[in-house]
Amino acid sequence: MRIGWTPDALAELDHVLAYIAAESPGIAAVVAERDLSAEETIRLFPRAGRFDAETDTYDRYMPKTRIIVTYAIRGEVIWIVSVWHTSRDPDTKPKRS
C-alpha cells in the first residue's frame, strides 16, 4: 500500500508545522520527522488506528505529539484526509467524510 495526502490534510500539516516553527524551528523539524515515522507505521499497519465505521476512516496519534491523523483506506492507497492538533478548539476539528 502507498500513502496519499489530500490537499486539505497537507495544508493543515503545513499550518501546524509553521505554527510550531514560529516558536521553535528545531521542534518543528522533530515533529516533521515524527510525521514521516507515523506515515510509515500507518503504511505497515493501516488497520491499527481507531476505526470509525460510520465514515470508514481511522484515527491515529502521531507518536510523542498532540496530532491526530485521520485516514481512509481506498484500494491500495491509504489517504491521509485530515491532520488536527489537539490543542485547537474541538469545534475546528475537520468533519470525517
Residue 6 lies in a domain: yes
Domain span at 65: 2-87
Count of domains for the chain: 1
Query: Model's pTM, two decimal places?
Result: 0.85
pLDDT reading at 44 higher than 70:
yes
Residue 92 lies in a domain: no
pLDDT bucket at 93, cuts 50 / 70 / 90: low
CA distance 8 to 29: 21
pLDDT (0 to 100) of residue 63: 82
Residue found under cell 493543515: 12
